[in-house]
Amino acid sequence: MRLKGRVAVVTGGARGIGEGIARCLAHDGARVAILDLDGDAAAESAEGLGAEHVGIAADVSDELTAGAAMEEVVQRCGRMDFLINNAGGGNRKASTAYGPPFTGVAQEGWDEQMALNLRTTFASTKTAISHLKQQEQGVIVNIASVAGLVPSPTMPAYGAAKAAVISLTRTLAVELARDDIRVHAICPGLLYTRAWQVLASRIQKGSPKHADKDPHDVFMEIVRKQTPLGREQTPEDIGKLAAFLCSDDAHNLTGQVIALDGGSTLQIAGG
């Protein structure tokens, strides 16, 4: 219960990585406010954590909406100690895996990726800082990606947005240190998300050697090939690290960018 008495905000927390983070923070004693575009899913996920947790419908890519959501968190929970910027994701319009190279990426898709993965972090952080300062200490954890650390030719917009999140993390760590607000970025590796389920299903259906395999088995084949430790990451892996970074156990850490990827970026760096 090392986070008991603290309040954590998790954006995009209704499903996937965000839901796993919320569970781990709640397990460590924090009261969790889940912000998500899908307000019903946010409320359902919060209810699953316990009566004290809250779910709020919010588009955190918009500064005014994000600010209103942060105000609601403080009104309902009394304070804010931690902000986990998890809202984000990919889309086909900005991916080259489904068509031509970079020159074929649609501007609409590029802009959507910047809004979903970078502007969400900007708006949520900007509107949360004043609340974090009121506690005389706080923590911001940005969920980036290994795509922001290594070349990402099949998803250049996503990789560029996550690289920008990493840069912003370091900048904020310096700027907010005087207020004892610590800022970190976690870069997850391969997780069996909804996007990977779709991609693995396509591989399975389009490849004779994979025809008899379950899509998750196809995914794990890729994991074992690309990850030295040979195992996938889980939302709880991300959540446990986020909980540690929020805790007093990490009180002298800031500006850290941690690749939670089973060693995949090491393998890429080593050729």
158 is catalytic: yes
SS3 60: coil
Exposure string (b/e) for 122-140, b if CB count within 10 Å is 16 or more? bbbbebbbebbeebeebbb
Query: Do 7 and 82 form a contact (C-beta atoms < 8 A)?
Result: yes
**Separation of alpha carbons 164 and 131, rounded Å:** 24
Query: Do 146 and 265 form a contact (C-beta atoms < 8 A)?
Result: yes
Query: Do 70 and 130 form a contact (C-beta atoms < 8 A)?
Result: no
Q: Directed axis angle between helix 194-206 and helix 215-226, to 10°?
A: 100
Catalytic residue among 158, 192, 196, 219: 158
Q: So which residues are the catalytic ones?
A: 158
